[in-house]
Amino acid sequence: MSFSISNPVYALYERRLKDRILDGDRVEHVAIIQDGNRRYAKERGLSKALGHSLGAATSEMVLDWCLEIGVKHITLYAFSTENFQRDEEEKRYLFDLIKNKFIELNNSKRIHANHVRIRAIGRVEMLPRDLQEEVRRTEEATRSYDNMYLNVALAYGGQRELLDAAQALARAVR
């Protein structure tokens, strides 16, 4: 899936930025920490759910750009252990959003055509069973890919989880 902002000035800026990146040193790893979606929504009088959906769409744009410029590794910090403290309605929405994004990734022609390996890092076993199953399906479907690596951090946070994530990344790079 590819997103484009229709403003012609922004399109020119985006093209120039891409050219500068491609002419310089190659970026190997991009990390995206999804933070501030609720705050963004609140400041604009939007629902939390819409804030999270807009944040996910922005992350998808960044993922598309990374694919276009040849970034090899992307880590998307999607759901921390601290997020388990949120109210049940918001957690359910986030779990459903993440599950649906994994389904989209698994069905994405662009992911498969570009051989993007998708892995979840963190304490996935803490997540609802239906989300765990979609994560496993997507990991399995992309297991043999090695053109790009998308690590999705789920139920991460705290020292132990960060250590686990670093070890998983080290194993993936070997």
Determine which one of 64, 83, 96, 164 is catalytic: 83
pLDDT at 4: 47
Determine which one of 19, 23, 25, 35 is catalytic: 35
Greater confidence (130 vs 170) lies with: 130
- Mean pLDDT along residues 116-137: 96
Q: Is the dihedral of CA 145, 107, 26, 33 positive or negative?
A: negative
Active-site residue flag, 106: no
Active-site residue flag, 107: no
103, HSE (Cβ side, Cα atoms, 13 Å): 8
- Mean pLDDT along residues 73-102: 93
Q: State the residue for tokens 């944040």.
A: 55
pLDDT at 6: 59
pLDDT, averaged across the chain:
85
Q: What is d(CA 148, CA 27) in angstroms, rounded to the nearest whole number?
A: 12
Classify burial at 139, counting beta carbons within 10 Å of its beta carbon; exposed 0-12, middle 13-18, buried 19 or more. middle
pLDDT digits (tens, 9 = 90+) for 28-64: 888 888 877 778 878 889 887 787 788 888 888 888 8
- Listed range (12-16, 25-29, 64-68, 88-92) with the worst mean pLDDT: 12-16
In the chain the domains, ranked by start, together with CATH numbers, are 26-173 (3.40.1180.10)
Q: Show the tokens assigned to 68.
A: 């276009």
Cα-Cα end-to-end distance for the chain: 30
Query: What is the CA 57 to chain-centroid distance, rounded?
Result: 10
Range 88-93 contact pairs with CB under 8 angstroms and sequence separation of 24 or more: 90/48, 90/49, 93/48, 93/49, 93/52
